[in-house]
Structure 1
Amino acid sequence: MPGHLGQKVLKSFGLGDQSHSHHHHVSSDQQLPGRGVVNDDERGLSSPPNNGTYPRLAKLSDGSILSSFTRFPNHQHALRVARSTDGGRTFEDLAEVTRGAGDVDNMFLLEISPGTVLAAFRNHDLGPGGPTHFRITVCRSTDGGRTWGFVSQAAEKKAPLGIWEPFMRLGRRGEVQLTYSQEFAPDNQCTMLVVSHDQGSTWSRPICLHGERDRLRDGMNGIASTIDNGREALVMVIETTRYGSFNVEAIISYDDGASWHHRHEVFCPPRGHNAGSPQVASFADGSMAVVFMTDEDSAKVEWTKNAAIKVVFAGPPQDGHIQWSRPQLISPASSFWPGVMALDHHTVLATYDRGGPNAKTISWNPR
């Protein structure tokens, strides 16, 4: 797979304590305030023939939905956008944000004001021995995703230690919060934050949000808003390496993303297997769905191959505690790079690459 993990999975993790069972905190699904149902309604996210990888979705204020994905024409990487005007049922190819001969991938879209959309993506120069210069590049469209222009580098650095996987959200004051992963050592990667108050033209200096000194490779962050007993809260999901291979954890913020607390496990596969690349969305009642890829059912572990896409659910946090359900299957092996977006109050659209960018709806039925 041309996915990002190939260049960052390590062969030499310290394995840590794996003796505890990962089922100790799993709620019986009866305790959840609702029931999540994965619908059998797969659809492509681009015009036929449907192809591309690393699919993500962005909702626009005019009711349309943009999908984004990476294609590989003529040994290049092309970042493409398609659009749905029927609630995410069908998508028509719309535009190309950029293409390059380097490692251009991991695109994430966010509408920041009506018709104005930012695209953030990794944009690395490659030499014979791998990446030589790392960037998180930002482009902007002011016509709903039809035409794009370069705006800024949200972050950049020289090799060897890399940056990847941007995610964006709007803060309470309308500022753009862009989070991404940065390596500080082979066994230490953190989630970083940069902020823009001018629609992506300039960015603050990066700060590490959590675990600066932890010997963990935190990555692939995604954030959703929810409520904890009347307090506004954000839940961030990440993949990490607490037990050597990848598992999924979460942390909570009560100050619009400035500080993060209550780190806990969302899903941990059996020892030696992996679960990673998580993304999170919330329903109207504050309940959440986390999608991720895992090779827990595969006899042969060769991450990121042989992985299926699964989803776990939780009700809103209760005083910093979140109870996650057992996983349900969304897409069988081999599927890659899931994303998720709230479609309406009780439906999310989960995306993944299985021979092309696809999606299924997941319904939340409150009890």
Structure 2
Amino acid sequence: MGDESNYVPITRVNRVVLMINGLGATPVMELMIAAGKTVPKLQLEFGLLVERVYTGSFMTSLDMKGFSISIMKVDQTLLQHLDASTKAPHWPVGSAGNRPPAKTPVPLPSSRSMKSDELLSRPLQLTEQGHILEVAIEAAANAIINMRDILNDWDSTIGDGDCGSAMYKGATAILDDMKKYYPLNNAAETVNEIGSSVRRAMGGTSGVLYTIFCKAAYAQLKANSDSTVTAKQWAEALEAAIAAVSKYGGASTGYRTLLDALIPALAVLKERLTSGEDSCTSFVLSSEAAVAGAGSTKDMQAQAGRSSYVSAAILATVPDPGAMAAAAWYRAAALAVKDKFHPSFNSSINKSKS
């Protein structure tokens, strides 16, 4: 339980109640699946006594997809109040009679992603690929950290104002975890670990989408048997990640989302690599397309997410914060790799323009 998400400290063997709240368009079956996954995690990983589980649509956001998970520390008095009869139409009325005491679980040690039954860890010495990944990840995360306030400002106009804060939590978790856990010499497993960091630390829609993004990229990279990932394989991983986000998020080009930055970037990246351009140059030029695509969201009418309920006049005052964040980390990673491993890039570009 992180300090930032705790209003009341919750420790092992504390009694808690759990609420799985549908946001409006999530079927009850899916809420039950979420509850079934959450309860054993609370019991086994955190050692909590789950006294009650409330599953349903208690506080919705029109017909929004998804759900929220809330945990509250309780004592016997609070449980009696929660079990009391009520006329609230959607609150589950407590059943009569005494309930059996919650079982105290045997806590299991928490673990991160596993490979060959061994914990992944940062290698003592980095390969060239490992150095490139480290530079790119650090630059991308720092770019998001530096944008927290402006992302929140944009999101406060068209959403709930926490895009920057959510992205900031994910970025700081990535930087912290990279120092300890990321197997940087293994690109696929590193991407998988980034997804684990995001899933643990980043809330909101962004956290879900980037978890899907990383898992899809990991699966694509994992399918390649070579230890060193080529630029073409990175492009294929990006394409798979974009396809997964589009599939599960229900968005595409022109929907005013992070995909409006990443889809143009992918198109330029593939085009440049196919034409024989070197990987670093292709990466940087594709990042310019990401920035341009993100900026163009200011002229789009949102077709997904909460901003789809905001008027066109208000949307036209700010770009989409999710798209701007995606462009920022992509651009920062590209420039960092160029500066570190391709210092002659600027001079070659200037010569080609003259």
| Larger relative contact order, structure 1 or 2 (CA cutoff 8 Å, min sep 6) | 1
Considering the TM-score relative to the shorter chain, is it more than 0.5?
no
Question: Whose strand proportion is higher, 1 or 2?
Answer: 1
TM-score, normalised with respect to structure 2: 0.26
The structure with the larger Rg is: 2
